[in-house]
A and B are shown apart, each in its own frame.
Chain A
Amino acid sequence: MITKRIIPCLDVRAGRVVKGVNFEGVRDMADPVEMARFYNEEGADELVFYDITASAEERGLFTDILKRVAKEIFIPLTVGGGINSLEDFDRVLKCGADKVSVNTGAIRTPGLIGQAAKRYGDQCVVLSMDVKRVDGKFHVFAKGGRVDTGIDALEWAHQGVDSGAGELVINSIDTDGVKNGFDLELLDAIAKVAQVPIVASGGAGMMGHFAELFSHKGMDAGLAASIFHTRQVKIRALKQYLQQQGIQMRITGEEMK
Chain B
Amino acid sequence: MIAIVDYGVGNLFSLSGSLEFLGLESEVTADPEKIRAAQQVILPGVGAFGDAMHRLEQTGLVPVLCEEAQKKPLLGICLGMQLLFESSSEYGTHKGLGLVPGHVEPLDREIAGMGLKVPHMGWNRLDICKDDPLLQYLRQGEYVYYVHSFYAKDCADYTLATSEYGVPVTGVVRNGKVYGTQFHPEKSGKTGLNLLRAFAAL
- A residues sitting closer than 8 Å to B (CB atoms) are 1-3, 5, 40, 45, 67, 70-72, 74-76, 93-98, 120-124, 166-167, 195-197, 220, 250, 252, 254-256
Contact = CB atoms under 8 A, between A and B. Distances in A.
A255 B191 contact: yes
A22 B156 CA distance: 53
Given A3-B122, A3-B143, A74 B186 contact: yes
A166 B21 CA distance: 30
A74 B22 CA distance: 12
B34 interface: no
Given A1-B165, A2-B146, A195-B117, A74 B124 contact: no
Per DSSP, chain A at the interface is: loop
Interface residues of B, number: 37
Contacts of A220: 117, 122
A240 B46 CA distance: 33
Contacts of B147: 123
A104 to B, nearest CB: 24
Given A76-B187, A93-B11, A123 B20 contact: no
Contacts of A124: 46
B78 to A, nearest CB: 10
Given A75-B187, A123-B147, A5 B117 contact: no
Contacts of A71: 17, 20-21
Interface of B: 11, 13-14, 17-18, 20-21, 46-48, 117, 119-125, 137-139, 142-143, 145-147, 164-165, 186-194
Given A74-B193, A123-B119, A197-B117, 8 more contacts: A1-B124, A2-B121, A75-B187, A75-B188, A98-B11, A98-B14, A123-B46, A124-B46
Contacts of A2: 120-124, 146, 165
B81 to A, nearest CB: 16
B139 A74 contact: no
Given A121-B46, A250-B143, A256-B139, A74 B18 contact: yes
A163 B182 CA distance: 26
A208 to B, nearest CB: 23
